[in-house]
Amino acid sequence: MKAIRQQDREFMELAIQEMEKSPGTTKVGAVLAINDQVIATGFKSKTSHAERAAIEQAKNAGFKLKQAVLYTTLEPCVELKSTQTRTCCSDLILAEGIRKVFIGHSDPNPRVLRKGWRQLCDEDIELRDFPEDLRRMIEERNPFARFFSLSVGPQGGMTVDVREPETITIQFSEIDLRTMEIRWSWSGKNQAFAYKSSNTDVALAREATDFSQIDDPGIFRFSNQARASIGEIVVFRHPEAYLLAKVLESQAGEAYGDKHYLVRFKYQIRIRESAI
């Protein structure tokens, strides 16, 4: 691993400053430099991604970008739908001939995670990571970095990456700061594994297809894991609450004909009577 030059670090820090200008919860900043001189900056807005904003600013100023270095706080996006009308940032970077990119944080969206990195790597783009302290700074200042691993109840929905078993933290509600951890992994075509964690065990709510059909979540057979197909419900049991989770989508990778490894689910938290 090559050492990070101080000049590169300063441009990364500038990208983080740009990130903080982004409205909303998905914050991204970008910087373009040629010969160690900043030529453009950008941040994610309602109308443009940060990388696109910086590239368009540089091109409008008359710069050619084949010698440019890009510093971006988030992994560049990839095409998610064939009907997209705008070029994704990874394709745009390649089209403009940018040959070196510093990335601050992988995109936590399971449909994008490491896909942008892979696309650029396959085209022999030189890819470097922000140093660990700056990555932590991004995680602290950008809510999107935690969007796919943290949720607030009492009800909601999530999509999580499950190529490796993923632990998610769910807060009981906006005013109830207690939390519980749940874990998911892929199982097979249209199926997911739910696992016990440090403070929960888990059961399949057999034959139930709607939360309203479950009177007492404690009646099911709890153990270390439960396998659920799309449409089925699992119950995570915490000492102070039950979390009911219905599997809406499950993908298990290319070996099963899927593009991603993910589980999408909706959930409902019910406080246990003993904890009220």
Q: Which residues belong to the active site?
A: 51
- Residue among 68, 139, 129, 117 nearest 97 (CA): 68
- Residue among 149, 170, 171, 146 nearest 160 (CA): 149
Distance CA 39, CA 217 (A): 59
Contact 220, 235 (CB under 8 A): yes
Amino acid at 32: L
